[in-house]
């Protein structure tokens, strides 16, 4: 295979690839499951209990703030997102995918303003929101635009407010197979692998190392990490083959997260990035 077949001469911009993925596949349902459910949300049964811990951590970081929330890339608004929105007086949902925005409108009704748009260049007024929540979105933004997107979230949050981002850690031992595949394929845009995924269009993904986030810290902006989840659904399915193994793994993961959160941040595939805008 030549590298030309892998890399078109004029690749589509990452945002168009991601929008097309979610419009055509991610937020389409075959009646039972959406494309996103099929690809990224099929976990071993034991994950259900474990996942309450990371969801509660995120809620604890956001709920006490109250006021106005900006939800970036909320997609089909999973239950965790609905609970976060419920802790605020008003929510504003911003997503590049029109079907996602329609789903958010249907779920949140009058409690939210739902808008098609990109966080890279939102056009929204500065210092409008008390908090921003952005889960599993930033690593689908072109690697050269991710800093701009984070600075836009910081611009939109009020002094004293908080930005909470769920990101990925490319140096996590659990991320090694996925990162190696991306290098082999010479790019970050590819059709997700696996036979059950043959129908899926390509999706863009790029995660900077955790040290990259230091650039946002200054005397008025604090940046820190908390653990979100140990592993994504695909490594979970590949590694945790039996129910007993999955239960043992998730019990150990939850214990490590509470006993040694910094170690969990270093090891886990997904961290929570907490950015506090002090003034
Ligand atoms: C992986 S889904 C995450 C959905 C949801 N937040 C969750 O955690 O399940 C990514 C979502 O981000 C949206 N998105 C991607 N790039 C975006 C951008 N630049 N601005 C706003 N939304 C974006 C996509 O359309 C999609 O709905």
Q: Is the CB of 75 under 6 A from ligand 1?
A: yes
Q: In 3D, which of 153, 13, 130, 127 has the Cα closest to residue 73?
A: 153
Ligand 1 pocket member 54 (CB < 6 A)? no
Cβ contact 150:181 at 8 Å: no
pLDDT value for 179: 81
- pLDDT given at position 176: 84
Beta strands in the chain (DSSP E): 68-72, 90-95, 112-116, 129-135, 157-166, 189-190, 203-204, 221-227, 271-277
> Residue 62 has what pLDDT?
98
Q: Quick one: pLDDT at residue 187?
A: 60
**Helix, strand, coil % (nearest 5) of the chain?**
45, 20, 35
Angle at 40 (CA atoms; ends 72, 105), nearest 5 degrees: 35
What does the pLDDT read at residue 194? 47
Instruction: Give the distance from CA 55 to its chain's centroid.
Output: 13
Specify whether the CB–CB gap between 145 and 176 falls below 8 A: no
Rounded Cα–Cα distance for residues 26 and 29 (Å): 8
Please calculate the CA angle 97-101-104 and round it to the nearest 5 degrees: 140
Q: Does the beta carbon of 100 lie inside 6 Å of ligand 1?
A: yes
Residues 174 and 236 sit within 8 Å (Cβ to Cβ): no
- What are the start-end ranges of the H helices in 72-175? 79-86, 98-108, 146-156
CB 119, CB 153: distance < 8 Å:
yes
For residue 279, the model assigns a pLDDT of 84
Let me know how long the chain is. 279
CB of 120 closer than 6 A to ligand 1? yes
State in Å: Cα 58 to ligand 1 middle: 17
Q: How many CB atoms lie within 10 A of CB 225?
A: 19
Residue 95's CB is within 10 A of a number of other CB atoms, namely 28
Cα(54)–Cα(51) distance, rounded to whole angstroms? 6
Low-confidence ranges of the chain (pLDDT < 70): 1-12, 185-198
Q: What's residue 21's pLDDT?
A: 96
Ligand 1 mean position, distance from CA 164 (Å): 14
Helix count and strand count (H, E) for the chain: 11, 9
Is residue 153 within 6 Å of ligand 1 at its C-beta? no
What domains can be seen in the chain, in order of their start residue? 3-277 (3.40.50.150)
Q: What was the pLDDT predicted at 2?
A: 33
Q: Is 183 exposed, middle or buried (0-12, 13-18, 19+ CB in 10 A)?
A: exposed
CA triple 168-170-175, angle to 5 deg: 95
What is the distance between the alpha carbons of residues 213 and 210, in angstroms, rounded to a whole number? Answer: 6
Question: From atom 4 of ligand 1, which residue's Cα is the shortest distance away?
Answer: 75
- Cα 261 off chain centre by: 19
Query: For position 5, what pLDDT does the model report?
Result: 41
């Amino acid at each position: 295979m030549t590298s030309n077949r892998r890399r078109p001469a004029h690749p589509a911009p990452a945002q168009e690839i991601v929008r097309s993925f979610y419009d055509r596949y991610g937020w389409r349902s075959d009646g039972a499951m959406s494309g996103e459910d099929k690809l990224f949300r099929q976990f071993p049964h034991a994950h259900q209990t474990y996942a309450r811990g990371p969801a509660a951590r995120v809620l604890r970081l956001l709920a006490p703030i109250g006021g106005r929330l900006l939800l970036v890339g909320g997609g089909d608004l999973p239950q965790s997102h609905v609970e976060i929105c419920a802790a605020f007086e008003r929510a504003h949902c911003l997503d590049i995918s029109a079907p996602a925005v329609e789903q958010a409108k249907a779920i949140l009704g009058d409690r939210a303003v739902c808008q098609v748009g990109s966080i890279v260049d939102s056009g929204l007024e500065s210092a409008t929101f008390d908090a921003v929540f952005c889960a599993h979105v930033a690593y689908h933004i072109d690697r050269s635009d991710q800093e701009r997107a984070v600075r836009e979230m910081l611009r939109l949050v009020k002094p004293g407010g908080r930005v909470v981002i769920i990101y990925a850690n490319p140096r996590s031992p659990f991320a090694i197979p996925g990162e190696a595949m991306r290098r082999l394929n010479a790019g970050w845009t590819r059709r997700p692998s696996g036979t059950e995924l043959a129908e899926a269009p390509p999706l863009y993904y790029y995660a900077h190392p955790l040290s990259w986030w230091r650039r946002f810290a200054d005397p008025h902006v604090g940046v820190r990490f908390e653990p979100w989840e140990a592993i994504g659904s695909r490594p979970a399915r590949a590694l945790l083959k039996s129910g007993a193994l999955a239960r043992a793994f998730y019990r150990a993961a939850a214990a490590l997260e509470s006993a040694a959160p910094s170690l969990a941040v270093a090891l886990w595939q997904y961290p929570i990035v907490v950015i506090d805008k002090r003034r």
